[in-house]
Amino acid sequence: MSGLSRRNFLENSMFAIAAAAGVGAAQPRRASSDERVGPNDKLRVAILGVNGRGQSHIGGFIGNTYCDVVALCDPDEIVGMTRVKQVEEKQGGKIKYFRDLRGVMEDPNIDVVTIATPNHWHSLATIWAVQAGKHVYCEKPVSHNVEEGRRAVQAIEKHGTIVQCGTQSRSSKAHQEAVQFLRSGGIGDVTLARGLCYKRRPSIGPRGNYDVPANVDYNIYLGPAAAEPLTRPRFHYDWHWQWNCGNGDLGNQGIHQMDIARWGIDADDLGERVVTYGGRLGYEDAGETANTEISIYDFSGGRRIIFETRGLETDDYRGAKIGVVFHGTKGYVVSTSDYSNVTAFDPDGNVLKKFEGGGNHFDNFVDAVRAKDASLLNCPFAEGHLSSALCHLGNISYRLGEQRSVAEIREALAKDADAAETIGRTVDHLKANQVNLDQTPMTLGPVLTLNGREEKFTGSLSDQANAFTFREGRGDFKIPSAANV
Ligand SMILES: NC(=O)c1ccc[n+]([C@@H]2O[C@H](COP(=O)([O-])OP(=O)(O)OC[C@H]3O[C@@H](n4cnc5c(N)ncnc54)[C@H](O)[C@@H]3O)[C@@H](O)[C@H]2O)c1
User: Cα–Cα–Cα angle for 318, 257, 447, nearest 5°?
Assistant: 95
Q: Which atom of ligand 1 is nearest to the CA of 80?
A: 39
Distance 117 CA to ligand 1 centre (A): 3
Q: What is the pLDDT of residues 331-346, one digit of tens each?
A: 999 999 999 999 999 9
Residue 2 has pLDDT above 60, yes or no: no
**Domain boundaries, position 301:** 172-358+382-484
Query: In the predicted model, what is the mean pLDDT of residues 315-320?
Result: 95
Q: How many CB atoms lie within 10 A of CB 211?
A: 8
Same domain, 386 and 341: yes
Tally of helices (H runs) and strands (E runs) in the chain: 14, 20
Domain identity same for 93 and 205: no
Q: Do residues 196 and 254 share a domain? A: yes
Closest ligand 1 atom to Cα of 53 = 16
- On the 0-12 / 13-18 / 19+ scale of CB atoms within 10 A, 340 is middle
Above 70 in pLDDT, residue 22? Answer: no
**Residues 146 and 191 both lie in one domain:** no
Nearest alpha-carbon partner for 355 in 192, 185, 176 = 176
**Ligand 1 close to Cβ of residue 53 (< 6 A):** yes
Distance CA 22, CA 379 (A): 36
Q: Coil, helix or strand for 83?
A: helix
Name the residue with the closest Cα to ligand 1, atom 19. Answer: 237
Domain boundary among 152, 169, 186: 169
Asked if residue 397 and residue 295 are part of one domain, the reply reads yes
Which pLDDT score, from 0 to 100, does residue 40 have?
Answer: 58
DSSP run (H or E) holding 118: none
The gap from C-alpha 162 to its chain's centroid, in whole angstroms, comes to 18
Same domain, 321 and 464: yes
pLDDT value of position 47: 98
What's the gap in Å between 179 CA and the centre of ligand 1?
A: 29
Q: Give per-residue pLDDT as tens, 267-287.
A: 999 999 999 999 999 999 999
Q: Is 366 part of a structural domain of the chain?
A: no
The verdict on 197 and 333 lying in the same domain is: yes
Q: How many domains does the chain have?
A: 2
Identify the pLDDT of residue 304. 98
> Does ligand 1 lie within 6 Å of residue 221's CB atom?
yes
Of the pLDDT bands very low, low, confident and very high (cuts 50, 70, 90), residue 191 is confident
Q: What is the CATH number of the domain that holds 49?
A: 3.40.50.720
Q: What is the mean pLDDT of residues 296-318?
A: 97
Please state whether beta strands 67-73 and 43-48 pair in parallel, antiparallel, or not at all (unpaired). Answer: parallel
Cβ(171) to ligand 1 under 6 A? no
pLDDT at 24: 28
List, in order, residues 6 or more apart from 398 with CB less than 8 Å away.
276, 277, 278, 290, 293, 295, 443, 445
- Cβ–ligand 1 contact at 248 (below 6 Å): no
Q: What is the DSSP string of 46-82?
A: EEE--SSHHHHHHHHHHTSTTEEEEEEE-SBHHHHHH
- C-beta atoms surrounding 92 within 10 Å: 9
CATH number at residue 430: 3.30.360.10
Q: What percent of the chain has a predicted confidence (pLDDT) above 70?
A: 92
